[in-house]
Amino acid sequence: MSRKASLLRELISKSAVMMPGVPNASMARQVEQAGFDAVYLSGAGMINSTAGMPDIGLLDREEVVRLAGYVAHAVRIPAIVDADTGFGEGDEVATTIRDLENCGLAGCHIEDQEFPKRCGHLAGKTIVDLKTMTARIKAAVAARRDKDFLIIARTDARAVEGFDRAVDRAGEYLAAGADAIFPEALQSPKEFRDFAKEIDLPLMANMTEFGKSPLLTFRQLADFGYRMIIFPQSAFRISMKAADKFFKELKKAGTQSDWLDRMQTRQELYNLLDYDPAAEEWKGFRD
């Protein structure tokens, strides 16, 4: 049984949980250091940062499991990962769940898009039929060995079939055994509120920037009834913007001296990584 999975269930049973998104394990350690109770591993963050490619399902299961495992083992807090469409159907979904359990994740979400998927806030998405998605959920639920491992069903139906159909699908996904629902790309505060009125089990809200959803506050969403609020790309976007500015100034000035007060120091990095160069052994992972 996973202590982290049971901890996450306990957390969301009591209140809403804020989950900053990260693309890697070092940033996950920063989330933990800042005092957050859980962390989210963004699919877009993984592919954007590791491969320099867009979020269109280009990472395979082995790559996602490896990257997610680094995050899960780097922190003591629970981590949830974006598992895209489950990397197949039937036995492939089952393998995905078991692999993510084995590498220490507390849960994942699987969506109802067709493969190859698209970013949830872009046009041109297509979704599978209800039978296919409910089969994905049933395969995921049957495959898990830890009853606390959280299986979240994401629906992209709002942009394809409309709000009412997204609610209907969510109800079917819960009936199929999903532990929580992630309605992607809702388009107004009213939609977030009304969706929460219709669905009784835990809900995930995505507060990604520059997309179709309004940027509501954690408190607003918690008051509506959402239990997991993710900020998947915020830190990545900030770090990329800062790096872009730095590279331009480095090219112009030929020195990084003016940026030293904006850098994480060597010692701060070592502290974050639990590394003491004078010690004989590194403290290692945090499971």
Of the residues 29, 61, 84, 121, only one is catalytic, namely 84
Does the annotation mark 184 as catalytic? yes
Tell me if residue 82 is catalytic: yes
Half-sphere exposure of 259 (CA within 13 A, CB side): 15
> DSSP readout, 76-127?
SS-EEEE-TT-SSSTHHHHHHHHHHHHTT-SEEEEE-BPSSP--TTSS---B
**Residue 270 falls in the annotated catalytic set:** no
Catalytic, out of 32, 55, 101, 148: 55
Query: Residue 280 catalytic?
Result: no
- 287 assigned to active site: no
Whether residue 99 lies in the annotated active site: no
- Say how many residues make up the chain: 287
Query: Is residue 109 annotated as a catalytic residue, yes or no?
Result: yes
Q: Within 13 Å of residue 251, how many CA atoms lie on the same side as its CB?
A: 6
CA 95 to chain centre: 19
Q: Which of 32, 82, 101, 191 is catalytic?
A: 82
**Marked catalytic residue, from 61, 109, 136, 227:** 109
Please list the residues that pair with 18 across neighbouring strands.
229
| Active-site hit among 101, 184, 191, 227 | 184
Q: Is 281 a catalytic residue?
A: no
Pairing relationship of beta strands 204-206 and 228-231 according to DSSP bridges: parallel
**Is residue 173 annotated as a catalytic residue, yes or no?**
no
> One of 144, 179, 206, 227 is an active-site residue; which one?
206
Which of 40, 169, 173, 191 is catalytic? The answer is 40
Catalytic residue among 61, 119, 144, 156: 119
- Indicate which residue of 111, 112, 148, 179 is catalytic: 111
Q: Which of 121, 136, 154, 227 is catalytic?
A: 154
Note if 70 is an active site residue: no
List all residues 6 or more positions away from 147 whose beta carbon is below 8 Å from its beta carbon: none
Active site residues per annotation: 40, 55, 82, 84, 109, 111, 119, 154, 184, 206
